[in-house]
């Protein structure tokens, strides 16, 4: 905390105790303003936390923030709700004493949010198991349920708590949550039937109408429009832009499931809520003789159905009352006003008792389970009191009287406990206790609560007094009984100036926080809070289990008058005081900065009003009555030891001696401080500020010294690390090299030994003695083969294998050749494939048999040797659908006389024709072709052998073609006669007619000659072709 003092001119001080002018209210508020302007919403008054509502989300409630405050000393870091939560939790764990946190403030100041933050802190940071996680969820989910049924929109706050709440959180010896219990105080039941302008009824009514599905609303006979219900429109504010009733309804339904409400219980609960709305719409009429009757039978029927009571009995109870006089019962009719009051009283009673049942149900879900075996001694408790702050409205009534009485008691408790803790701390430290002057508000508490003489007792007496009583008679009774009290004033007892500010129906109490005028109208009715006996009887007979639990039969039988509302509140407050007195308290005071809920706006008048009513100045004066600052010796010495040469850098003696040497060096005067047994007490904030400023001025010098020391230490440590690392690396490297050499030698010897042994057994079957050698031979061959594989199908080279691998080598060679062939074939284009097929056929026919074949191998076969325009159009038309597949120019020799005639040989798919210009001279079907004869020399002679069945049919054809290899190959392939090609080495016989043969003789010569030879033979001289 001390570290923030240097910025105090900008952000103020974190603890009001450190204010120089602590008696000045203006200084107090200015410090609040500075911190609020910097979004620093939390400030301490000693151990009291003051919280200002920022009306916006601040990034200070994350899980990281929770961890930051967890286990940290209270004053070590900046003020926060988590700091007081953690300090309370640690005190409970270490001291094994129950704790409580009292949260108070005006409506809209952020009390409910503060309690939520505390619960969330415990749920996140405390140890948990599966049961405790469920319990933590129920603790957190109890908030939206209680807010729905107990909170409402007011002029000051859209989510104002209209009841006081005290929650006990139980922890086991390990510090884990294990149970909880809630007490509720003074629910504002009058809000059920009446709201001021601009205010709303309790949230649950609007959430049900807005968020409930159509089936549910139909079951409850409700309409979705809140304007349809009298109890929801009196404030003329059924919808609020800042509140999403639909979303809140979903949250409430989920929370009810988490807490453990059954479906039936939820339905019964919603029946009651709906019945209150229908009850508000139940209207009355007045007969001629003054009798009252119900005019809205449908609404009354809905109420009876939802409450589970008899409709006629309910109608009778709403319009009549039962009186008992001298042991006899009488039924008396109610007038119109009395019937309306009875209806409203029933609505308030039903809602109020249902709220109490709801709290009981939540307590059952939070209670310690039977299976968890813990004694009471093993458990500790942290209580959370979220209660209304001091209220001063334009018109203050019975509710404000009770609320302000509660705050008087809490202020009395606070002063008493604060002074006690201060005195105990002084005595523990051996410092003389100095009497503290403060305002003791016991006189005001006695004025309100004293037996027989207090205001509450007088109010009860007036309610019980027979005869005509009214609120004015109560006021007169107050004037007679406590009229002389210095803190009590009425219009009758006041002086002239005060009378002008008071009406005749008011009395004024001078509270510790200021003067408040109370209007007595309604005091007696609200204190009576009675429900007609016959209405109770009807409710006792309800089939709704919740109502039958809330309205006991004993209540009707018992003739004893029930306790008044003020006395009930007084007794419950006394019990609360006993609970709080048994615990170690911590305090959170909440302040709202403006009435318009705007972030960043600070209304000084409003804040001053709250500072006064919260008693913050009184708190500060009590805290500052002795010493403004106190710290343990070790913390003080640790922070300020640089300011004294004797204590810097370390003090090795007793802590008290070190602190004494330090303050003497700083020049503290005797009246400025005291040394206790374990703490130093500083009286004036100025002394602390001077010390903090001196430390701030010393920091540059300290920083230089620390930097020098750190750099020297760092470099020395760095050198030592490097030197050590070098030695380790060197030794490790040498060892690794030696191990590697030894391992290499050992592996080499084993390898040589296995290799030699394998060589000796190389001719044996594969076994343990030769496996390595044989594997090596195989591996070496495969490795060599991988590098020397043939690259194409024409490459016939292959590495020579070992005798062991001969068979495998041949198999691999075949596979490789097949693989290369497949790859080659896949790369061949269709036209080249056709070419290759023709070349293969030519090779099969002519290789090593025809002299001119080698000369043709390197030449491509053409699709045709004739251009299309060289073939007569008339011939093409004659062929019809048969397309010419190949054409070539040839010379035909007549069978008689061997006269040469130029012709065209055209091949189609089914036949071949000889063409003379535009005329087809001879057609030769492939099916009839008997054979094809050529010589073995380098000539172009071809004989096509055709059948000859009669003299008229043309027989064998003698042709000469320059491209004889190409022409014969194509003809043989088209006619599928490759096996019918004959290659004759000397002569060829052919049929001239059916009975006569001709002969072609072939001889070698210098050039090609075709002429008629001896004996009528055809002599062909073929030249010799050299192939290079």
CA dihedral 870, 876, 881, 885 (to 10 degrees): -30
Q: Which residue has the higher pLDDT, 884 or 288?
A: 884
The answer to whether 587 and 101 are in contact (CB under 8 A) is yes
115 is catalytic: no
- 36 and 593 Cβ atoms separated by less than 8 Å: yes
Q: In the annotation, is 537 catalytic?
A: no
Rounded distance between C-alpha atoms, residue 331 and residue 318, angstroms: 12
Mean pLDDT of the chain: 84
What distance separates the 2 farthest-apart alpha carbons in the chain? 181
User: Computed from CA positions of residues 249, 254, 258, 261, in that sequence, does the dihedral angle turn out positive or negative?
Assistant: positive
- 391 classed as catalytic: yes
Whether the predicted pLDDT of 175 surpasses 50: yes
At 714, give phi and psi (nearest 5°).
Answer: -65, -45
User: Residue 942: which pLDDT band, with cuts at 50, 70 and 90?
Assistant: very high
pLDDT at 961 over 90: yes
Q: Which residues pair with 182 in a beta bridge?
A: 167
Name residue 515's beta-bridge partners.
510
- The residue ranking higher by pLDDT, 137 or 489, is 489
Is residue 578 part of the annotated active site? The answer reads: no
CB 659 within 8 Å of CB 646: no
Neighbours of 673 (CB within 10 A): 20
Q: Which pLDDT does position 372 carry in this prediction?
A: 46
Is the distance from CB of 192 to CB of 275 less than 8 angstroms?
A: no
Catalytic residue among 105, 164, 389, 658: 389
Instruction: Report helix, strand or coil for 174.
Output: coil
Q: For residue 765, how many C-alpha atoms fall within 13 Å in the half-sphere facing its CB?
A: 0
pLDDT at 525: 81
Per-residue model confidence (pLDDT) at position 414 = 77
Examine the residue annotation and report whether 389 is marked as an active-site residue of this protein: yes
User: Is the distance from CB of 932 to CB of 945 less than 8 angstroms?
Assistant: yes
Cα 898 to Cα 369: distance, rounded to the nearest angstrom: 132
Q: What is the pLDDT of residue 903?
A: 92
The model's pTM is 0.62
Under DSSP, is residue 888 helix (H, G, I), strand (E, B) or coil?
A: strand
pLDDT band at residue 286 using 50, 70 and 90 as cut-offs:
confident
Active-site residue (options: 113, 147, 188, 391): 391
Across the range 139-147, mean pLDDT stands at 86
- With 80 as the cut, is the pLDDT of residue 8 above it? no
Q: Using one digit for the tens of pLDDT, what is the confidence trace for 421-480? A: 767 777 777 777 666 666 677 888 888 888 888 888 888 888 877 766 788 888 888 888
Of the candidates 533, 535, 520, 524, which has an alpha carbon nearest to the alpha carbon of residue 565?
Answer: 524
The answer to whether residue 610 scores a pLDDT higher than 70 is yes
* pLDDT for 5 beyond 60: no
Angstrom distance (rounded) from CA 425 to CA 434: 12
Distance between CA atoms of residues 86 and 49, nearest Å: 13
- Catalytic member of 43, 53, 112, 142: 112
Concatenating the DSSP letter of every residue in 379-403 gives: -EEEEEEEEE-----SSB-HHHHHH
Q: Is the peptide bond before 191 cis (omega within 30 degrees of 0)?
A: no
pLDDT score at 466 = 72
Among residues 936, 900, 891, 901, the alpha carbon closest in space to that of 1012 is found at 900
**Helix H or strand E encompassing 111:** helix 111-125
Which pLDDT score is estimated for 951?
56
**pLDDT score of 113:** 87
pLDDT greater than 50 at residue 878: yes
Element (H, E) at 363: helix 336-366
pLDDT of residue 370 exceeding 50, the answer is no
Catalytic-role residue among 108, 136, 164, 180: 108
Closest CA to 31 of 477, 670, 602, 495: 602
Q: Decide if 43 contacts 588 (C-beta within 8 A).
A: no
What percent of the chain stands above pLDDT 90? 19
Which range (207-211, 483-487, 669-673) has the least confidence?
Answer: 669-673
**Phi, psi (deg, nearest 5) at residue 315:** -60, -45
Active-site option among 47, 107, 292, 770: 107
Residue 914 pLDDT more than 90? yes
| Tens digit of each residue's pLDDT (9 = 90 or more) over 969-1005 | 999 999 998 899 999 988 998 888 877 888 888 888 8
Which residue in the list 104, 125, 161, 184 is annotated as catalytic?
161
CB atoms within 10 A of CB 182: 18
Mean pLDDT over residues 127-144, rounded?
A: 75
Q: Are 973 and 842 in contact (CB under 8 A)?
A: no
Count of all residues that appear for the chain in the document? 1028
H or E, element range at 773: helix 771-787
650 CB neighbour count, 10 Å cutoff? 7
Cα gap 976→327, rounded to integer Å: 140
Instruction: Say what the pLDDT of residue 275 is.
Output: 92
Which of 157, 275, 586, 594 is catalytic? The answer is 157
Task: Tell me which residue of 628, 671, 620, 625 sits closest to 18, measured CA to CA.
Answer: 628
Task: For 778-809, write each residue's pLDDT tens digit.
Answer: 889 899 988 888 988 888 889 988 888 888 89
The C-alpha atoms of residue 932 and residue 977 are separated, in whole angstroms, by 8
* Angle, alpha carbons 283-284-290 (nearest 5°): 170
| pLDDT band of 1028, cuts 50, 70, 90 | very low
- Does 968 score more than 90 pLDDT? yes
Q: What is the pLDDT of residue 368?
A: 64
Rounded to a whole number of angstroms, the distance between the first and last alpha carbons of the chain is: 111
Do residues 400 and 521 make contact, with C-beta atoms less than 8 angstroms apart?
Answer: no
- Residue 242, number of CB atoms within 10 A of its CB: 8
Are 611 and 51 a contacting pair, CB within 8 Å? no
Q: One of 160, 201, 544, 594 is an active-site residue; which one?
A: 160
Q: Place 1027 in a pLDDT band, splitting at 50, 70 and 90.
A: low
671 contacts 687 by C-beta, under 8 angstroms:
no
Class of residue 820 by CB neighbours under 10 A (exposed 0-12, middle 13-18, buried 19+): middle
Q: Is 107 one of the annotated active-site residues of the chain?
A: yes
């Amino acid at each position: 905390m001390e570290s923030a003092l240097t910025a105090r001119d900008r952000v103020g001080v974190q603890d009001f105790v450190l204010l120089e002018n602590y008696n000045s209210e203006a200084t107090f508020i200015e410090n609040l303003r500075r911190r609020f302007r910097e979004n620093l919403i939390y400030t301490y008054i000693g151990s009291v936390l003051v919280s200002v509502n920022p009306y916006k989300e601040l990034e200070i409630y994350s899980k990281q923030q929770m961890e930051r405050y967890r286990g940290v000393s209270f004053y070590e870091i900046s003020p926060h709700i988590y700091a007081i939560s953690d300090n309370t939790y640690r005190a409970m764990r270490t001291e094994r004493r129950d704790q409580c946190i009292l949260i108070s403030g005006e409506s809209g100041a952020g009390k409910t949010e503060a309690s939520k933050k505390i619960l969330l802190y415990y749920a996140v940071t405390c140890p948990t198991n599966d049961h405790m996680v469920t319990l933590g969820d129920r603790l957190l989910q109890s908030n939206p349920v209680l807010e729905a049924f107990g909170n409402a929109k007011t002029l000051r706050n859209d989510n104002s708590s209209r009841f006081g709440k005290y929650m006990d959180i139980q922890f086991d010896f390990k510090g884990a949550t294990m149970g909880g219990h809630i007490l509720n105080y003074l629910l504002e039941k009058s809000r059920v039937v009446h709201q001021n302008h601009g205010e709303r009824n309790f949230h649950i009514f609007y959430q049900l109408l807005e968020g409930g599905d159509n089936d549910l609303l139909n079951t409850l006979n409700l309409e979705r429009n809140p304007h349809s219900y009298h109890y929801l429109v009196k404030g003329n504010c059924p919808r609020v832009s800042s509140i999403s009733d639909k979303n809140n309804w979903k949250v409430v339904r989920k929370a009810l499931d988490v807490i453990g409400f059954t479906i039936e219980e939820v339905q019964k609960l919603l029946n009651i809520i709906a019945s209150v709305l229908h009850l508000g719409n139940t209207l009355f009429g007045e007969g001629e003789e003054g009798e009252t009757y119900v005019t809205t039978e449908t609404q009354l029927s809905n109420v009876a159905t939802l409450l589970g009571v008899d409709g006629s009995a309910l109608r009778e109870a709403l319009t009549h009352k039962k009186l008992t006089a001298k042991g006899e019962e009488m039924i008396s009719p109610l007038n119109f006003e009395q019937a309306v009051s009875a209806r409203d009283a029933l609505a308030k009673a039903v809602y109020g008792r249902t709220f109490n049942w709801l709290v009981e149900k939540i307590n059952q879900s939070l209670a310690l389970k039977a299976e968890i075996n813990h004694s009471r001694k093993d458990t500790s408790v942290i209580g959370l009191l979220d209660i209304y702050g001091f209220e001063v409205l334009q018109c203050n009534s019975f509710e404000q009287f009770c609320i302000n009485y509660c705050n008087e008691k809490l202020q009395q408790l606070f002063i008493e406990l604060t002074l006690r803790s201060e005195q105990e701390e002084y005595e523990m430290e051996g410092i003389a206790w100095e009497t503290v002057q403060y305002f003791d508000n016991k006189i005001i508490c006695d004025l309100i609560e004293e037996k027989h003489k207090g205001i509450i007792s007088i109010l009860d007496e007036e309610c019980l007094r027979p005869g005509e009583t009214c609120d004015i008679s109560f006021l007169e009774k107050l004037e007679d009984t406590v009229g002389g009290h210095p803190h009590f004033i009425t219009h009758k007892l006041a002086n002239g100036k005060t009378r002008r500010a008071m009406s005749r129906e008011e009395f004024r109490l001078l509270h510790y926080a200021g003067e408040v005028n109370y209007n007595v109208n309604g005091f007696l009715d609200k204190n009576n809070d009675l429900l007609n006996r016959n209405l109770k009887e009807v409710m006792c007979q309800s089939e709704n289990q919740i109502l039958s639990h809330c309205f006991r039969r004993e209540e009707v039988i018992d003739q004893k008058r029930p306790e008044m509302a003020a006395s009930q509140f007084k007794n419950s407050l006394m019990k609360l005081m006993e609970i709080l007195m048994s615990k170690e308290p911590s305090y959170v005071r909440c302040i709202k900065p403006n009435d318009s809920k705007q972030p960043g706006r600070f209304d000084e008048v409003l804040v001053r009003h709250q500072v006064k009513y919260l008693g913050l100045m009184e708190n500060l004066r009590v805290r500052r009555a002795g010493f403004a600052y106190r710290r343990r010796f070790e913390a003080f010495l640790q922070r300020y030891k640089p300011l004294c040469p004797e204590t810097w850098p370390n003090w090795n003696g007793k802590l008290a001696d070190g602190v004494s040497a330090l303050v003497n060096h700083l020049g503290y005067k005797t009246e400025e401080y005291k040394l206790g047994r374990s703490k130093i007490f500083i009286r004036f904030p100025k002394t602390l500020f001077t010390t903090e400023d001196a430390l701030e001025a010393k920091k540059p010098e300290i920083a230089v010294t620390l930097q020098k020391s750190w750099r020297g230490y760092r470099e020395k440590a760095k050198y030592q690390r490097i030197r050590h690392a070098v030695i380790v690396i060197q030794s490790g490297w040498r060892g690794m090299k030696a191990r590697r050499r030894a391992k290499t030698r050992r592996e080499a010897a084993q390898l040589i030994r296995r290799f030699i042994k394998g060589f000796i057994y190389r001719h044996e079957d594969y076994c343990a003695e030769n496996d390595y050698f044989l594997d090596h031979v195989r591996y070496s061959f495969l490795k060599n083969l991988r590098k020397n594989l043939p690259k194409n199908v024409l490459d016939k080279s292959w590495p020579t294998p070992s005798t062991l691998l001969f068979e495998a080598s041949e198999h691999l060679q075949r596979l490789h050749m097949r693989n290369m062939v497949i790859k080659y074939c896949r790369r061949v284009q269709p036209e080249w494939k056709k070419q290759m097929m023709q070349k293969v056929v030519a090779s099969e026919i002519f290789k090593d048999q025809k002299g001119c074949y080698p000369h043709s191998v390197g030449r491509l076969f053409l699709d045709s040797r004739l251009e299309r325009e060289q073939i007569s159009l008339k011939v093409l038309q004659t062929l019809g659908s048969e397309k010419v597949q190949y054409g070539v120019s040839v010379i035909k020799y007549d069978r008689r006389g061997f006269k040469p005639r130029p012709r065209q040989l055209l091949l189609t798919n089914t036949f071949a024709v000889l063409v003379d210009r535009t005329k087809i001279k001879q057609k030769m079907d492939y099916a009839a072709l008997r054979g094809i004869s050529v010589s073995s020399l380098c000539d172009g002679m071809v004989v096509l052998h055709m059948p000859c069945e009669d003299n008229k049919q043309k027989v064998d054809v003698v042709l000469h073609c320059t491209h004889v290899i190409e022409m014969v190959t194509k003809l043989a392939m088209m006619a599928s006669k490759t096996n019918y090609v004959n290659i004759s080495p000397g002569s060829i016989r052919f049929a001239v007619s059916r009975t006569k043969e001709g002969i072609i003789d072939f001889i070698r010569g210098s050039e090609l000659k075709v002429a008629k030879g001896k004996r009528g033979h055809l002599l062909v001289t073929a030249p010799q072709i050299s192939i290079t």
